[in-house]
Structure 1
Amino acid sequence: MTYKKTVVTFLDILGTKDNQDFESKYKVHRAFHESMRDCQARDREEASYYRKVYSFSDCAYIFHGLRENNDYQTNEEERLIQVALFNTTLTTIRLLSEGYLVRGGISFGDAYLDDLSFFGPAVEEAFILESKKAVTPRILLSDSLGKCAKLFADKAHLECYSEANPIFNSLPKRSYIPELIQQQNNAYLLNPFYILEMEHRMQMGSHEFTHDELKSSVASTIEAQLHQYPWENPVRSKLEWMREYVANSRCSLEHPDSSFAMTRES
């Protein structure tokens, strides 16, 4: 029994501190766990990783780690990290579509968890990233994780969209290549719109999401919250940051209407 290398994500729903409504609280709880169920439904039986979610109030810790019986290979950690980050974008899409704004922190390091609880340096780091460093409604990665994940994702995109790729000519035409990990002012951010910037639409369980509809939904959430705060309130600058971030997101497909719906079965 010891620490294991684990991707630890801490997500916090913003603007709900004073919310005591049961239905609203339960809606958040359901969104966290149903998004994890949707992810688990598409796992292969031989998948080398596991995921586990602990939710409380308007927050959740999500863990991704390698299984005990995994035949460890040097590239397994990189694959684990990519799976964890991709799954986190799916959870975030679900929450954003429900009208919630999300802030988070993601770390990779030592953690211990069982059926009762969890602890470890990576747990503490993820919490600090969200509560002390992220500030705006964004999901902040630790520097070491951000560098590693961005290098891996950028390399995969370069290989995929290289003319040396035998299927390059059959790939959808894009105006740009979206980034799963974005770098802003020496900080590494998880792009929650990544999959919709890539595919325009996706099916997750019984829910269908499109890039345009999600942007519109989040923009409406932001505008509604802006009306609640006077100009001098510091919350406004955080909402305005998110409004600009959402406005800058765009689908990369040159012909998005002809795209197929990426399916995540529940």
Structure 2
Amino acid sequence: MNLSPPISRNPYYTVDKEPSLIKSVFAFIDILGYKGIVLKAREDNTEIIMFRRLYNALKSGRYRLEKSCTNGNDKEFDDTVNYLNESSTEKDDYFLKAFTDNIVIGFPENNNNHIYFQVIISKLARFQFEMIEKDFFIRGAISYDEAYIDDIVVFGSALTEAYKGESIEAINPRIILTESAVKAIYSYIDRHPDLTSHNKIPSSWIKLNLLEDADGKWFINYLNAAFLDYFDYNSEPNLEIILKHKELVENNLEKHKENNCVWLKYVWVAHYHNFFCNLHSEYLFEKHKIILPLNPYDFREISLSSE
């Protein structure tokens, strides 16, 4: 009888070695209004339905984490990464742990950190969009520091910074980049004079996949998923995705109109939605937008300091 322990795909875990902190891109994510969702399901006797919806959302989101898409029209790169992921019997490149309304995802550092940041942000964008499609809007923060995560413990400076970012700084349903993550990405921008051509993040990719909010926080532009057909990048957006997102936001604005604190968070999402439509006005028109009485938000494309 083979009594050897099962092989763990957790990239933080090594058999017969003490756990160690590893430099990681780390995401701490919270489901918006989770307590209210659970209480309402309990009142309506639909708790099992809500549970299965959440379970399927996390299952779909995990699937997106296991794939790669740069959201930057680099299909050859995506195909290569997907092939390596699917053909490998070795470790995953991330570990996910979900408990109550919190989700933590750790991506240990590898030797291609410029590609690594592109892949992770793209994966998290797809994860966020998958959750939203199941009507779970989320907020969170991404940090870059030392961490360890397994079934027993989640620990490290990356966790501390990401938790602070999610709980204090994110505020609205957005996944922000903390100071450490922004600093790391800046070190790989393609205008950096000390980098070779193979160690750079194109500034064009940053402008496609990240936006800057009025408070100066960078956040993931998850609606860019509308340009994806599963994992293939299209030159035009999927209008059904945009209209679905519009419907979900409008429904939540109506549902939460008596709860001003939650309602304002969906107002933020509505203005982000409309900003995205304006960015792609050659494809998206007034019928794709959400009607709101005023616009207190000032989104903008990221302006890199070296431009």
- Kindly state the Cα deviation for residue 91 of structure 1 after the two structures are TM-superposed: 0.5
- Structure 1 segments, 4+ long, off by >6 Å, are 46-49, 253-256
- Is the radius of gyration larger for structure 1 or structure 2? 2
State the Cα deviation string for residues 44-92 of structure 1 (Å, max 9, x = none): 15699711111122331111113xxx6x4xxx22322222111101111
Amino acid of the residue matched to residue 7 of structure 1? V
Local SS of the residue matching 1:240: helix
- Kindly state the Cα deviation for residue 211 of structure 1 after the two structures are TM-superposed: 3.7
Counterparts in 2 of 1:103 and 1:230: CA distance versus 1, 3 Å: same
Tell me, yes or no, if structure 1 residue 62 matches structure 2 residue 75. no
Please point out which of 218, 221, 233 is paired with 1:188. Answer: 218
Partner of residue 28, structure 2: 10
Q: Which runs of 5+ in 2 are unaligned?
A: 1-18, 39-46, 68-81, 192-200, 232-236, 285-307
Give the TM-score taking structure 2 as reference length: 0.63
- Matched pairs, number: 226
Tell me, yes or no, if structure 1 residue 222 matches structure 2 residue 252. no
State how far apart, in whole Å, the 2-side matches of 1:158 and 1:11 are: 26
State how far apart, in whole Å, the 2-side matches of 1:56 and 1:7 are: 20
Local SS of the residue matching 1:179: helix
Q: After superposition, where does 1:46-125 map in structure 2 within 5 Å?
A: 50-66=93-109, 72=111, 76-125=112-161
Please point out which of 9, 19, 23 is paired with 2:49. Answer: 23
State how far apart, in whole Å, the 1-side matches of 2:280 and 2:251 are: 28
Root mean square deviation, CA, Å: 3.1
Give the TM-score taking structure 1 as reference length: 0.72
Sequence identity (%): 22
Please point out which of 237, 240, 246 is paired with 1:213. Answer: 240
- Kindly state the Cα deviation for residue 235 of structure 1 after the two structures are TM-superposed: 2.4
Q: Which runs of 5+ in 1 are unaligned?
A: 161-176, 205-209, 257-266
State the Cα deviation string for residues 135-184 of structure 1 (Å, max 9, x = none): 11111110231243367467644589xxxxxxxxxxxxxxxx95212222
Local SS of the residue matching 1:137: coil
Counterparts in 2 of 1:33 and 1:154: CA distance versus 1, 3 Å: farther
